Amino acid sequence: MGALRHVVVSAALAASMSVSTGADPAAADVHPAPGASTSVGSDVVSLTSPLKGDIYRAGSQMTIAWTDPKVQTISQIVLATGSDDGLQPVMTVAEDVDAQSGSYEWTVPDDLTEGLYRLEVGTPPNVAYSGQFWVERPDLLRLNW
């Protein structure tokens, strides 16, 4: 029988996390709950923007904002897509960002594929995740029936 594994997290982090145990209770994985803005590992920052459900147009400005920085410099901000347990990096938004500034202005690329995205702030295992947001392409033809 596998050994019992204990995981200690703060109450705030536990409220925004989901635990997937799979077939082997000793091999529990911890993933951000859908749409949550969370930190995994050591706290990097607490993301306040973008939030779950936000909509941005390709080519528009996005303010990536945070509070309570625990580091002087954010090593990287990465745009990712996919499910919470299978995020795939799309592009690096920025590197070596001054964490004390509290925000970073980014222009969403004009040619970004329309869809759902999240931001990963920091370097694993010390990463904060934004809520899932939508990027729309106003140049796409839409037919309504």
- Write down the pTM of the prediction: 0.69
Structural domains of the chain, with CATH: 35-136 (2.60.40.770)
**DSSP string of the chain?**
-PPP------HHHHHTEEEE--S-GGG-EEEEPTT--EEESS---EEEES-TT-EEETTSEEEEEEES-SSSEEEEEEEEES-TTS-EEEEEEEEEEEGGG-EEEEEPPTTPPSEEEEEEEEETTEEEEPPPEEEE-TTS-----
35 and 117 Cβ atoms separated by less than 8 Å: no
Query: Rounded mean pLDDT of the chain?
Result: 77
Q: Is the separation of the CB atoms in 41 and 22 below 8 Å?
A: no
Contact (CB, 8 A) for 52 and 30: no
Residue with tokens 């990712």: 80
pLDDT tier at 85 (50, 70, 90 boundaries)?
confident
10-47 pLDDT tens trace? 333 333 333 333 333 333 333 344 344 444 556 789 99
Percent of the chain with pLDDT over 90: 58
